[in-house]
A and B are shown apart, each in its own frame.
Chain A
């Protein structure tokens, strides 16, 4: 009897969610419409890439990873940052964070979908991806760090779909979610979050062929920058939710998140400084990539303005966040978070991936410029991520508010 009720409830849950998604203000429809248009544009660009091959991108045998993998790397960090909400909310029993944790998990799901999409558009044979499925294909685990990455990313996606779904579905039914059912998975997901970003860092750090990445600091630095950019994004999203919906988000949540962001941004800067010292105190042949990135090499300097923008934005944002009065001013906080987010996106995206390939292992310098197809696909995937995030939050909020509930009438 109970089981049958659950199935009916599930059907109503998805029905109500769909209704919730399709109804809304003009502003909401405009937002989703723009995202849909961008997604269609991205799909069109991807279709061209599928037909012609990756030759339509700016990548080549010298720069074999570009904009796609840069965004992938950055977004893994955003996904991992959800742990900063999960841990205080579920494990440390913080009183404020439970309000924001579902939104953090929604951001993680969207970021992971984007990660998987970026990897898929980057491979030359997406139709052969079934070769990765253990049993059917040949999964080169544990040798390949990419195989590890496939496991951790998909596993983390699964965790971040299942835990919030269970909690939301229970609330929808008007039942309190049972802690002993979901708590074990929360513990797993905390470790998993750290591992997704470390594994992604090891993917690069393990390559002795690329001295720019082959550094023990890469993993910790990935975590620090992720724990700066992730909460920064969540602060921005929470501020938008606060201004657009009836969902009450207390100042304390934003203050706590801002503090986390500040500390992570500070640690990130320390690590940047330590890396710069190592590269430039006595530059060797292994410092060539860093020289190319920060100062240009033999007249090639396309990334120089790009990385200095990131460094300056990073320093400004960290300085502003460090100062108490600025951090506690919400207008300043939100704009600083945007600045920090962009800075980390540059630094950890193109600023990390592209110089790894320059100069080539044989000392040749070829620069990288993304094409419109590549940019189109990238914009499309970001639109997809924002679309998913908006949809998840849109359903979660009325359930949390208690306005979206399974009525007894429906069950009869």
Chain B
């Protein structure tokens, strides 16, 4: 009987897949971090006018309307420039719309904490809960009378998590339920309480990145910032960012040193950083046999860690060596861990799944810059909204001679290099 219930649950989980795929009416996202102060020193950071921000929601185009190259994406947005409120266009480079929260109180869709109080139990959830109970019962059979309730709870939550669906196909309620379960499971397994968000992509935002080769000195503060922000495993030394020390006179990465351990900068060398370039045409996405990785509307390529089967086909498909695999269970240090997490970002990963740079989705979707940008002491890193003509990144693209790595592959990276 238990098996039947479980399968019913699973079947139900996917029964309304079609319905979920159809585009939902435009919804606003709430800034769940009302104290976001956007503490960037850059003068480009200006708090937004609330009314104009709300007005901007009327824009027609969204990032996923356009599937061709970056230039055409930007071009396709030019006609809409007039519609962009002046204040928005002078927003912070990240185009985040970090605006101290209150403008979004009119949201009809609630995300984050709000939705938890609105929980409605439907048949499918009831089955899920039932499955969870059954699972807990199965797992604790034999010592049920003396078993620790925490173990029971853990078993139940683990079981429910095991049978959940692909994040991209979840309803908002399901997303919130899984976030709640994951927070509790982290508490039970790792003894700290994270705040896991499932913030969606902002409207009219397409993230882009520029790297100033003239300014980078190879200090690697970005790498440290990234490791800390994204809770990368210190034991395996996993890093999303690579900094290559290159000999002047050629631009090929062949022969570049990505593993230097000496004082920098070295005379006669220059430094070039790589990370996930969040390709507009990412080769890693179509290869996934279970669609555990995809490009979000704001251009970030993400991985659903709980859906990934760990085949590593995406790792083989990436021409920029941007993906990492958890060859062992990553070590989580509850004192040092970053508790501000995102479902698609820096939350605790299991062994055997792929992860990657997400432009610090947990930060950028809250209107902050990625950790590497914040950490860079030389100002070599520029991040922003490509759809905002007044953003710093657009200024770089318009005024500098830029290039991208392996452009001939047609991947359209949203990561440009330039020189002063």
A residues in contact (CB < 8 Å) with B = 52-55, 57, 59-62, 64-65, 119, 122-129, 131-132, 135-140, 143-147, 150, 203, 206-210, 285, 288, 356-357, 359-364
Contacts and interface: CB of A to CB of B under 8 A. Distances in A.
Contacts of A126: 309
B351 A144 contact: no
Contacts of A360: 321
Contact of A362 (B274, B288, B317, B323): B274
Assign chain B's interface to a size class. 35 or more
A144 B328 contact: no
Given A125-B353, A131-B292, A144 B310 contact: no
A140 B288 contact: yes
Given A125-B308, A131-B166, A361-B319, 17 more contacts: A54-B351, A55-B236, A55-B327, A122-B311, A124-B310, A128-B309, A128-B310, A131-B292, A138-B165, A138-B307, A139-B289, A146-B287, A207-B317, A209-B318, A209-B409, A360-B321, A361-B318
Chain B's interface: helix, strand, loop or mixed, by majority?
loop
Given A54-B325, A54-B352, A122-B311, A138 B319 contact: no
Interface stretch (B97-105, B204-212, B222-230, B251-259): B251-259
A129 B292 CA distance: 12
Nearest to B351: A53
A62 B238 CA distance: 12
Given A136-B14, A140-B288, A146-B289, A288 B352 contact: no
18 contacts: A54-B351, A61-B321, A64-B312, A124-B309, A124-B310, A131-B166, A132-B309, A138-B166, A143-B287, A144-B289, A207-B283, A207-B287, A356-B316, A361-B321, A362-B253, A362-B274, A362-B320, A363-B254
B290 A132 contact: yes
B313 interface: yes
B116 interface: no
B291 interface: yes
Contact of A131 (B244, B309, B312, B317): B309
Contacts of B165: 138
A61 B315 contact: yes
A76 B70 CA distance: 40
Contact of A144 (B253, B287, B319, B327): B287
B324 interface: yes
Which of B253, B329, B409 counts the most chain A CB atoms within 10 A? B253
A132 B290 CA distance: 6
B265 interface: no
A131 B290 contact: yes
Interface string B279-315: 0000100111111100000000000000111111101
Contact of B11 (A136, A288, A363): A136
Contacts of B253: 362-363
A285 B252 contact: yes
Contacts of A135: 11, 14
Which of A138, A146, A150, A359 counts the most chain B CB atoms within 10 A? A138
A357 B286 contact: no
A137 B274 CA distance: 34
A202 to B, nearest CB: 11
Contact of B254 (A123, A129, A288): A288
B242 interface: yes
Contacts of B329: 53
B62 to A, nearest CB: 22
B287 A125 contact: no
B326 interface: yes
B254 A359 contact: yes
A137 B318 CA distance: 24
Give the 8 A-B residue pairs with the shortest CB-CB distance, closest first.
A124-B310, A124-B352, A209-B319, A55-B327, A55-B328, A146-B289, A53-B328, A53-B351
A208 B284 CA distance: 11
A64 B311 CA distance: 9
Which of A57, A119, A362 counts the most chain B CB atoms within 10 A? A362
B46 interface: no
A53 B326 contact: yes
